[in-house]
Structure 1
């Protein structure tokens, strides 16, 4: 059962679509430019239902150092440090624990928020509403609340059963996005919000720059 409603009004995402850099594969190709800080948040490794391990823990257990743009294939190449029976971090589907933590640190309220998900995902039955950079992805638009009447977090879920990669409030105070093959999220935000994200123990997060190149993950 999905928690979001389809939106047909392209204007909800027109500001984002127009601002994205269409040349190259920079952070500003995936989330709008101009934020004070940019943070990359990694999907955890699920070792069993309800139990996850952060990439940083795997790297440190293997005696190596973390880096802001580390990739899953780099970790998987050192199989001795990767937990057995793990489920690889999904591409284009933020983990529910990441979504819950983001709802908490972003201090969302009961207003309606905006979301976008690639129209090519299986089960995505909304009309292609607007094209996002850098690969011309046709994105289906959604809206919904992330806190219910009792103040309980509601994980955003699309018609395809996925957590969307794009989230933003109407005022674009922050914006979350990534490409469809990514095992991580990128958020543009202010200094205070970035500090809360980096300090949250449930988020495996790293400061990045607006001008950083984003490695392709569609191996």
Structure 2
């Protein structure tokens, strides 16, 4: 289900800083009348969305056959050998591998809560023309790229993409366009 549909059902506004709790937590829609049952998955981009994004991004790199992918080894969805390459990140070392952009929808470790497995948390082409980031703690994926590539992603109707700014917060309480009567709770 698209976030825009959830916002419409609750009389909330679609905007770049929207958070699930303030978008779906309306008192105007009873739990029985809600067309959604669960919150979005945190920390993983759905495979169909990953494929749609890869189809767009392929047009904006000279190196679609040589991309890099990284998955946080602490996610519980991957157990690499000790000698496997790591990408050191603050508080989150990642296991990384390379290959064609066609590997972007690779899934790691299916579980009860992630039946399709988890996506890569970072991926970028060898020419560094864009970078996709899905943080393990967020329901949002970010794309850093050129204006032309961003415009293509924003215009694609298969993606639910909104522009973001570098100063946009990603904390649970950063949704500033909450409609009256809507409350977001942490947790």
Classify the secondary structure of the residue corresponding to 2:43: coil
- Give the structure with higher Rg (CA): 2
Number of the residue aligned with 1:72 = 20
Superposed CA RMSD in Å reads 2.5
Classify the secondary structure of the residue corresponding to 2:151: helix
Number of the residue aligned with 1:20 = none
Gaps spanning 5+ residues in structure 2: where? 111-116, 174-185
Q: For the residues of structure 1 that align with 2:100 and 2:153, how far apart are their CA atoms?
A: 20
Gaps spanning 5+ residues in structure 1: where? 1-52, 148-152
Structure 1 residue corresponding to 2:95, chosen from 130, 140, 148: 140
The structure whose residues are more often strand, as a share, is 1
Q: For the residues of structure 1 that align with 2:104 and 2:72, how far apart are their CA atoms?
A: 21
Higher deviation after alignment, 156-165 or 195-204: 156-165
Structure 2 residue corresponding to 1:155, chosen from 105, 110, 121: 105
Residues 4-41 of structure 1, C-alpha deviation per residue, up to 9 Å, x if partnerless?
xxxxxxxxxxxxxxxxxxxxxxxxxxxxxxxxxxxxxx
CA distance 1:198–1:162, change in 2 (3 Å): same
Number of the residue aligned with 2:86 = 129
Q: For the residues of structure 1 that align with 2:7 and 2:13, how far apart are their CA atoms?
A: 6
1:1-219 pair list within 5 angstroms:
53-78=1-26, 80=29, 82-84=34-36, 86-107=37-58, 111-126=65-80, 127=82, 129-133=86-90, 136-147=91-102, 155-158=105-108, 161-216=117-172, 219=187
Paired positions, count: 159
CA distance 1:116–1:154, change in 2 (3 Å): closer
Aligned-residue offset at 1:131: 2.7
